[in-house]
C-alpha cells in the first residue's frame, strides 16, 4: 500500500523549511512549533497592536505584469525564478515568502490566444518544486504533474500553446504532497489568457480590468506566516489578503470595472458580497466567459475557483465606500477589501447581453462515479480518498478517449466540501443533486464545489492533448493527503 510509504516520506519532507521559512506542519510537530515560537499567533499580535491588521489601510497592490525576454508573433519567452524573499505584508514587518521572482502574488502573465508562451522556471529554493498552469490546456509534460519535479537548483521549460478560450488562469506549485506548504508560502500568480476576438464585447480594459487574488494567512509575532496543519478542514487563517495585502482599499471611478477574482487560499471558502447586497454581474468562470452575464448578490468561491465580474460603480455616489465582504466566516475574515468611489472620466465599457456562444459537444461516451470519503487507516492516521484509493504515480484510475466527453459523478460521502479539479481539460457542470447548476456555473469549469453529501455530475471534454493528468480535491491539505487520482487520456 503505497500511501503508507508516501506518508512517511512526506512527513520527513515536512521537516524541511520553505525558503528559510520554518513551516512546521504535521500533526505531531505542531505542538513543538508552538512551544519554540511561544504564543505568537496573529490573534495575540492583533490584541497587542491592532495596527497591521486594521482593514482598508493599504492601497490594493497590483501584481507586476511579467515582461518576456523575447517575443515574436508566434511566441513569447519568459524566465522566472522561484526563490525565497522577504516582503512587507504587515506594515513594519518582514514576512519571508517563497515566490515567483520573489514576489507574492507572482508576476501576472498576459497571454494571447494563438500565441505560445514558454516559461523557463528556475528553482532557486532548497526543495523540489514544479509549476502547474491551473485551467491551462497543455501537453502532459508541461502540466506540472506532481511527480515531474524540478530539483533544487535546477530548471525546467514549460510550454503553453494557448489554444483554448480566453480565461482567467493561474499558476502555482504542485510538488507531490507539499502543495499545502508551497502554495501557502507564496507560489501563486495570475495567467490571463485573452483573445483578440473578444474585443467586440467592449469589456473594461487596462486599469479597469483588475485581478484580485484572495488568500487567508495567519502570522507569528515576528511577522512570518504561521501555518497549522488541519487534515479535516484544511488550513484556515485569521487574516484575509488581497493581492498580498491585508484587506486593502482601492480608489475606483464611477464607471464599469472588471474584476478577475481568484480564491488562491489553501482551503478557505468565501461567500462574497458587495456592500449590503449590491449587484455584481458575473461574466466568466474558471474556463472563461459565460454564455450570458448573470446578476449575483453573493458569490460563493471554493479554493482555486475563478469568477470574472463586472461592477457598475455608477450606482454609487462619489465618496461612497463600498466593502467587499466575506459572509459566513469568522469575524476577522469578514472584510475582504473596500472600494472608495471617486469622480472619473466618461464611461467607455458596457455590459454585453450575450457573451460566448455555446460549444457543441459530442454525446457522453462513458459514465464514471467517484465516491469521496474520509478513511481511517490502520495505526490511527487517516486520509482523504477518491473511489477508495490513495494517489500513486503507478496507478491509472481511468482511460478516457481523446475527443470524447464523459459523465463523471462526484459523490461526496463526507461532511466536508471538496472543490474537485481536473488537469488538462475543462468540463461543464451537468447537475447538482439532480438539479441544473446555478447559471454562474454553466460555463466551462475546471474546479467545482461538491458540498457535503452532494452528488455533482460534470461532463469533461477530453479535447486537444492525450496523456497522463491528475484530478484532485483542491483543498490543498486534502489533495496532498491522498485525495488525488490519475487518468490517462488515450488517442
Residue 132 contacts ligand C2O per CB under 6 A: yes
For residue 309, the minimal CB distance to ligand C2O (Å) is: 21
Q: Which one of ligand C2O, Cu ion, none interacts with residue 478, CB within 5 to 8 A by kind?
A: Cu ion
Contact residue for ligand C2O among 421, 428, 445, 478 (CB under 6 A): 421
Closest CA to 330 of 387, 378, 285, 268: 268
For residue 360, the minimal CB distance to Cu ion (Å) is: 33
CA pair distance 136, 154, nearest whole angstrom: 23
CA pair distance 356, 362, nearest whole angstrom: 19
Q: Which one of ligand C2O, Cu ion, none interacts with residue 323, CB within 5 to 8 A by kind?
A: none
Residue 383 contacts Cu ion per CB under 5 A: no
Nearest to ligand C2O of 188, 322 (CB atom): 188
CA pair distance 431, 442, nearest whole angstrom: 10
CA pair distance 224, 482, nearest whole angstrom: 28
State the CB neighbour count (10 A cutoff) for residue 317: 9
Q: Which one of Cu ion, ligand C2O, none interacts with residue 304, CB within 5 to 8 A by kind?
A: ligand C2O
**CA quadruple 401, 403, 406, 410: dihedral sign:** positive
Residue 137 contacts ligand C2O per CB under 6 A: no
Q: Which one of ligand C2O, Cu ion, none interacts with residue 156, CB within 5 to 8 A by kind?
A: none
CA pair distance 471, 489, nearest whole angstrom: 12
How many residues of this chain bind ligand C2O (CB under 6 A)?
9
State the CB neighbour count (10 A cutoff) for residue 331: 7
Task: Give residues 400-419 in contact with Cu ion (rule: CB under 5 A).
Answer: 418
Nearest to ligand C2O of 299, 304 (CB atom): 304
Percent of the chain that is helix, strand, coil (3-state, to 5): 15, 45, 45
Residue 134 contacts ligand C2O per CB under 6 A: yes
221, 44 contact by CB (below 8 A): yes
Residue 449 contacts Cu ion per CB under 5 A: no
In what order do the strands lie in the sheet containing 270-274?
A: 249-253, 335-342, 321-326, 270-274, 298-301
CA 262 and chain centroid, separation: 6
Alpha helix positions (H), 16-152: 27-37, 42-48
Q: Which one of Cu ion, ligand C2O, none interacts with residue 475, CB within 5 to 8 A by kind?
A: Cu ion
Nearest to Cu ion of 324, 372 (CB atom): 372
Residue 273 contacts Cu ion per CB under 5 A: no
Closest CA to 125 of 234, 257, 17: 17
Q: Which residue is nearest to ligand C2O (CB)?
A: 134
Residue 145 contacts ligand C2O per CB under 6 A: no
SS3 of residue 56 by DSSP = coil
For residue 17, the minimal CB distance to ligand C2O (Å) is: 23
Residue 487 contacts Cu ion per CB under 5 A: no
Nearest to ligand C2O of 219, 444 (CB atom): 444
CA pair distance 287, 284, nearest whole angstrom: 8
Nearest to Cu ion of 203, 450 (CB atom): 450
Task: Give residues 456-485 in contact with ligand C2O (rule: CB under 6 A).
Answer: 472, 474
Residue 445 contacts ligand C2O per CB under 6 A: no
Nearest to ligand C2O of 19, 146 (CB atom): 146
Nearest to ligand C2O of 188, 311 (CB atom): 188
Residue 473 contacts Cu ion per CB under 5 A: yes
Q: Which one of ligand C2O, Cu ion, none interacts with residue 442, CB within 5 to 8 A by kind?
A: none
Helix (H) or strand (E) holding 242: strand 239-242
Contact residue for ligand C2O among 165, 423, 428, 478 (CB under 6 A): 423
For residue 282, the minimal CB distance to Cu ion (Å) is: 24
Contact residue for ligand C2O among 58, 174, 442, 478 (CB under 6 A): 174
Residue 428 contacts ligand C2O per CB under 6 A: no
Closest CA to 19 of 187, 158, 245: 187
Interaction mask 276-315, ligand C2O, x per CB under 6 A:
----------------------------x-----------
429-464 burial, b for 16+ CB within 10 Å, e for fewer?
bbebeeeebeebbbbbbbbbbbbeebbbbbbbbbbb
Q: 34: exposed, middle or buried (C-beta count within 10 Å: 0-12, 13-18, 19+)?
A: middle
177, 13 contact by CB (below 8 A): yes
Cis bond before residue 465 (omega within 30° of 0): no
Residue 418 contacts ligand C2O per CB under 6 A: no
List interacting residues with Cu ion (CB under 5 A): 418, 473, 475, 478
List interacting residues with ligand C2O (CB under 6 A): 132, 134, 172, 174, 304, 421, 423, 472, 474
Amino acid at each position: 500500500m503505497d500511501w503508507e510509504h508516501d506518508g512517511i516520506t512526506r512527513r520527513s519532507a515536512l521537516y524541511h523549511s520553505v525558503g528559510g521559512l520554518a513551516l512546521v506542519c504535521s500533526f505531531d510537530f505542531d505542538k513543538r512549533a508552538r512551544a519554540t515560537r511561544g504564543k505568537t499567533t496573529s490573534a495575540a499580535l492583533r490584541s497587542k497592536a491592532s495596527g497591521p491588521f486594521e482593514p482598508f489601510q493599504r492601497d490594493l497592490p497590483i501584481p507586476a505584469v511579467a515582461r518576456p525576454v523575447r517575443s515574436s508573433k508566434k511566441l513569447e519567452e519568459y524566465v522566472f525564478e522561484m526563490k525565497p524573499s522577504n516582503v512587507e505584508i504587515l506594515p513594519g514587518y518582514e514576512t519571508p515568502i517563497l515566490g515567483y521572482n520573489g514576489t507574492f502574488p507572482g508576476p501576472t502573465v498576459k497571454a494571447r490566444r494563438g500565441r505560445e508562451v514558454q516559461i523557463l522556471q528556475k528553482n532557486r529554493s532548497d526543495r523540489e518544486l514544479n509549476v502547474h498552469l491551473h485551467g491551462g490546456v497543455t501537453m502532459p509534460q508541461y502540466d506540472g504533474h506532481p511527480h515531474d519535479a524540478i530539483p533544487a537548483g535546477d530548471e525546467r521549460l514549460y510550454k503553453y500553446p494557448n489554444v483554448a478560450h480566453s480565461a482567467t488562469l493561474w499558476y502555482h506549485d504542485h510538488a507531490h504532497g507539499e502543495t499545502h506548504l508551497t502554495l501557502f508560502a507564496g507560489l501563486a500568480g495570475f495567467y490571463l489568457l485573452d483573445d483578440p476576438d473578444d474585443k467586440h464585447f467592449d469589456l473594461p480594459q487596462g486599469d479597469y480590468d483588475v485581478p484580485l487574488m484572495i488568500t487567508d494567512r495567519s502570522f507569528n509575532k515576528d511577522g512570518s506566516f504561521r501555518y497549522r496543519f488541519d487534515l479535516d478542514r484544511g488550513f484556515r487563517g485569521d487574516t484575509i489578503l488581497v493581492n498580498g495585502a491585508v484587506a486593502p482599499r482601492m480608489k475606483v471611478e464611477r464607471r464599469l470595472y472588471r474584476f478577475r477574482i481568484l480564491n488562491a487560499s489553501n482551503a478557505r471558502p468565501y461567500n462574497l458580497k458587495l456592500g449590503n447586497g449590491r449587484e455584481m454581474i458575473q461574466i466568466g468562470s474558471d474556463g472563461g466567459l459565460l454564455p450570458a452575464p448573470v446578476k449575483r448578490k453573493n458569490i460563493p468561491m471554493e479554493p482555486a475557483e475563478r469568477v470574472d465580474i463586472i461592477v457598475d460603480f455608477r450606482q454609487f455616489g462619489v465618496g461612497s465606500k463600498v466593502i467587499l465582504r466575506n459572509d459566513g466566516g469568522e469575524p476577522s475574515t469578514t472584510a475582504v477589501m473596500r472600494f472608495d468611489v471617486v469622480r472619473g472620466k466618461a464611461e467607455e465599457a458596457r455590459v454585453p447581453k450575450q457573451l460566448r456562444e455555446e460549444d457543441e459537444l459530442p454525446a457522453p461516451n462513458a459514465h464514471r462515479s467517484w465516491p469521496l470519503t474520509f478513511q481511517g487507516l490502520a495505526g490511527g492516521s487517516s486520509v482523504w480518498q477518491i473511489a477508495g484509493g490513495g494517489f500513486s504515480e503507478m496507478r491509472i484510475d481511468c482511460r478516457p478517449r481523446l475527443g470524447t466527453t464523459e459523465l463523471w459523478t462526484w459523490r461526496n460521502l463526507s461532511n466536508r466540501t471538496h472543490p474537485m479539479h481536473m488537469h488538462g481539460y475543462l468540463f461543464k457542470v451537468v447537475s447538482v443533486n439532480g438539479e441544473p447548476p446555478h447559471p454562474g456555473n454553466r460555463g466551462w469549469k475546471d474546479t467545482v464545489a461538491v458540498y457535503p453529501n452532494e452528488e455533482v455530475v460534470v461532463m469533461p471534454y477530453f479535447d486537444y492533448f492525450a496523456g497522463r493528468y491528475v484530478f484532485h480535491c483542491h483543498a490543498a491539505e486534502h489533495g496532498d493527503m491522498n485525495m488525488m487520482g490519475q487518468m490517462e487520456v488515450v488517442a
